[in-house]
Structure formats: C-alpha cells, structure tokens
Structure 1
Amino acid sequence: MVRQPWDVECPDAPVRLFCLPWAGGSAVVYQRSWPRALAPDIDVHAVELPGRGMEFGEPLVRRAEPLLDLLAARVAPLVDRPYAIFGHSMGAMLGLELTRRLVAAGHPEPIRMFLSGSGVPGRRPRSAERPLHELPENEFREWLRRTGGTPAEVFDNPELLDMVSPLLRADFELCDAYRYTPAAPFGCPVTAIGGDNDPYVPVASLAEWAEVTTGPFDRLVLTGGHFAFQEHLERVHAFVGAALRSAVRGLTH
C-alpha cells in the first residue's frame, strides 16, 4: 500500500476506531485529519469501500448485504483489542450493520459507537419522488450542487465529476434498497451526532438511536447542516477522543 503524507499509525494504541464514509465518500476523508488528531492512544482505521481510493477500479457494490460481508471479513481480524465505530450518513448505517455482524460472529461489542448525520436507517417513510440514483444526469448533478456534500472543485473538473457521479449513484441505490430490521440492542454507549439545520435529518430523529442500545445514550448537536461534523472537526475530535480515553480507563479499573 502506498504511504500517504498524512498517514499516522498507532499499532500499540489501546483502542481502534473504525471510520465509515458517507455516500460518495472514501477513506481519505478521514485519513487526512483523524489519525493525527487522535494519536497516539487511538488507532484510526478509515474503512475503504470498493470503487474508490485504494479500491479504485474494483466493482461498485449496490446492495448492503454483499458490501457488509466484505467489510466484516476485513475488519474482524482487527478487533483483537477494544474498538469503536464512527459512521456518517450512509456510514452510520454501515457502522450499525457491521457491528451487528461482528457481534453475531462472536466478537465483542465496540466500547462506543458514534453515529452521525442519520436517524435509525429506514425509519423515514420513503419518498414518492423518483429515487436519486434514477435521476437524469443533469438533474442528478444539480441536486448534488444544491446539497453541498460534493466539494465545489469537483464541479469545476468535468472528468472528476464523470468519475464521482457513478460512485454516488451506486451508493444512493444501495441506501434506497436497504431495509432496516430491528434486532436485540447492544449494551455499549451510543452517541448520535447531527447538525441543528440538517434538512435531511431533523435533530429530533437523532434520539431514535437510543433504541439500538441498553447502555448510555447521548447526542452531540452541532451548528450547521448535514455535514456539520466536518465544519466542527476539532470539537468532534476532542469529543470522540475524550469519550474513548474514558472508556479505556474504565476497562482497566
């Protein structure tokens, strides 16, 4: 694997944090700042998805089940020590289902879950509008521009936009096809993170995550929209770091 200038490895850290990207995102959105911000006592593993980053050229996956099978196989060997999960938007759904798979396979629960930019997936009634992944290309790109989740420079580079569009469509198709199934709750603490002006995830819906655990539940509400956590990275890093360090101390007492 090619080393990147922002890479920070903490193989002896007492806890690992697995970070899952949102629709259209890749591991690099975490790699550029999270490992350095949380080192040396938290080992950040940004989970890559097929078709992007170091997985560029691999077939895109349009259904949750095969993607989660793949991710679970990759992550399972790394949960040989306390671990935690962070996922934003689509990544929150992947984080929830990945954790379910790990626990079902006999691995311990995470010591904490951070679920951002989402209520419990599948809770919202499905829109009667045409699914995003089926929109004509010009309408799809206009929607992307309006929502603000795609960096502005992508729209200034037609070749890059041509690469990003199929990836986003595949992720939106995966999310649209996903069906949430209630299951036995975890016992680990869960934190829901969201923006106070998120047009897709009202603040009230963050409370839905309380049902996935019998353990402590809290919310971190930030000023901003769907990507509020990106606008407040220093605060999020500090919150996540403090929570995980406290959890590790609790394991040793």
Structure 2
Amino acid sequence: MVRHPWDVQAPDAPVRLFCLPWAGGSAAGYQRTWPGALAPEVDVRALELPGRGIETSEPLIRRVDPLLDFLMARIVPLLDRPYAFFGHSMGALLSLELTRRLVAEGHPEPVRMFQSGSGIPGRSHRTGGRPLHELPENEFREWLRKTGGTPATVFRNPEILDHLSPLLRADFELCDVYRERPGPQVSCPVTALGGDADPYVPVDALSEWAEITTGDCELMVLSGAHFAFQEHLDRVHSYVAAALETAMAHPAH
C-alpha cells in the first residue's frame, strides 16, 4: 500500500529530505520506497506537483515561477529542522530554484542537494528537433516510450495515456521554456548523479553542478540510462543516508 505523501514516518529524524519529481512524475514515485529505506534517521517528504496525487484538483502549471510559489507554500512550514533536496531531471531544476528562493527569503540553505539526471537546468543538452511539448501526439508517445520511466502498462492502456499526456506536456513546456538563470552560488555540498548511458544528459554535464556551489561537488555515475537511479535504489539510498549523516555531523553553516 502506498502511504499518503504527507504521512510522517520519521518524526524525530534530525534532517528532512524533500524529494522532487521528474516531468510527468508524482510523489508516489518516491513514496513507495524512500521513506521506509531512510527512516528513522531521515524524514522523507515527497513533494506533490499540481494536477496529480493529492493535488489533482490544482491546475497544471507551465512556468517555473508560479510552480515555485506553489511549492514554497508547502515547504516553508516544514523548515523546523535541517533539510536537503533530491530532485530528478525536472526535479533538479526545481531543487535549484527552490534553494535560491529560500535563501533569498532568509531561510537556511539545504545541508545538501542531490541532483539526478540533469546538468545545469536551461543549459540544454538535447540537440535539434522541436520542443518536446510541441511534438505531434504519436511522436510524443514514441519519445516517452524510448526514454523510459513510464511503465509499459501505460502504453497498453490508451485511457491512462490520454490522461497523462496533458500533464506530461505541461511539465515539458515548463522545462522547454526555462532558460539558465544567473544566481549567487550556494555553499552546501552537491551530489550530481546520473546514468553512464543517459542519451539526454551526458556524464560530462553532471560535473557542471560544481559551478553553482562553493562547497564540494561529488559525482555518482551509475550504469543505466536516464532513470538509472531507479535501477540502483539500494545503492542510492545508502549513499543519501551516509551523506546526510555526514552533513549533520559536520554542518557547513
């Protein structure tokens, strides 16, 4: 049984980990496995995006700034302890911009950022072709099939795919129109992780994350494609737990 995304599984944990979904993803993508793997030392909060899960009634958002407003309203009340971000793909974009927004509004930095399946957001590594959200439906679905991350059962159920397509297009539009933004560096350590066979984010792009921090930037290269982290969850969970334990034992600020 998938627990409610806001269920508290580690109320006494010294650190809270906010997990941000990829384009078309939802809190359920983390909630099935992450809280149980990291409790009781880490309180995992899988953030839900508009138009899905517990936020189904909220309209889809196609630009980053209003989505940041939406997420800030849900994160700020939970900043009662040190926190970290884990974001995959679009989630890495949101993690970066949320960190900048939080710091600008006087909140502490995260103790660590885990950025998966992404180089610096807006610095596109996808070459040629139309923006994803503008692809004809048949091309769009074929791209989804090749990318991975969407269960095969979805493609066998036209009704589910018809429901998901507008949501996916909204998320891809947000990513397609976003452009790299200059901003002050953070001081927290960053981990950039990705697959060695990711056709969209080459391994070299992962090292770009060193540019956004004055702290350490570690690379974690996994075997696999764009969703490699899902194929190595035990290893990723162990790494995240150890990194957060270190962050709490030796705070940078």
TM-score (norm 1): 0.95
Coordinate RMSD, CA, aligned: 1.8
Q: Closer, same or farther in 2 for the Cα pair 1:5/1:204, shift >3 Å?
A: closer
Identity of aligned residues (%): 71
Contact 1:21 1:87 in 2 (8 A): yes
CA distance in 2, matches of 1:89, 1:71: 17
Q: Distance in 1 between matches of 2:46 and 2:161?
A: 23
Deviations 1:2-53 (A, max 9, x none): 9549956111110000000000000000000000000001000001000011
Structure 2 partner of 1:73: 73
Deviation of 1:208 after TM superposition, in Å, equals: 0.3
**In 2, Cα distance between equivalents of 1:85 and 1:3:** 20
Partner in structure 1 of residue 112 of structure 2: 112
- What is the aligned partner in structure 2 of residue 212 from structure 1? 212
**Greater alpha carbon shift after TM alignment, 57-66 vs 225-234:** 57-66
Contact 1:6 1:33 in 2 (8 A): no
- Give runs of ≥4 in structure 1 deviating > 3 Å: 2-8, 125-128
Q: Write the distance in 2 (CA, Å) between the matches of 1:189 and 1:5.
A: 26
CA pair 3-119 structure 1, distance change in 2 beyond 3 A: closer
CA distance in 2, matches of 1:92, 1:156: 30
- Following the alignment from structure 2 to structure 1, what is the Cα–Cα distance between the partners of residues 232 and 7? 21
Find the counterpart in structure 2 of residue 11 from structure 1.
Answer: 11
SS in 2 for 1:244: helix
Offset of residue 132 of structure 1: 1.2
Aligned partners of 2:235, 2:153: CA distance in 1, in Å? 26
**Number of the residue aligned with 2:64:** 64
Larger CA deviation: 123-132 vs 214-223: 123-132
User: How far, CA to CA, are the matches of 2:5 and 2:194 in structure 1?
Assistant: 30
Q: CA deviation at 1:126?
A: 6.7
Conserved in 1, the CA contact under 8 Å of 2:68 and 2:98?
yes
Q: What is the DSSP-based 3-state SS (H/G/I as helix, E as strand, rest coil) of the residue aligned with 1:68?
A: helix
Q: Which residue of 2 aligns with 1:233?
A: 233
Structure 2 unaligned residues grouped into runs of 5+: none
Partner of 2:244: 244
Aligned length: 251
Q: CA deviation at 1:57?
A: 2.9
Preserved contact between residue 68 and residue 94 of structure 1 (Cα < 8 Å)? yes
Q: Aligned runs of 1:162-177 on 2, under 5 Å?
A: 162-177=162-177
Which structure 1 residue ranges, 5 or more long, are not aligned? Answer: none
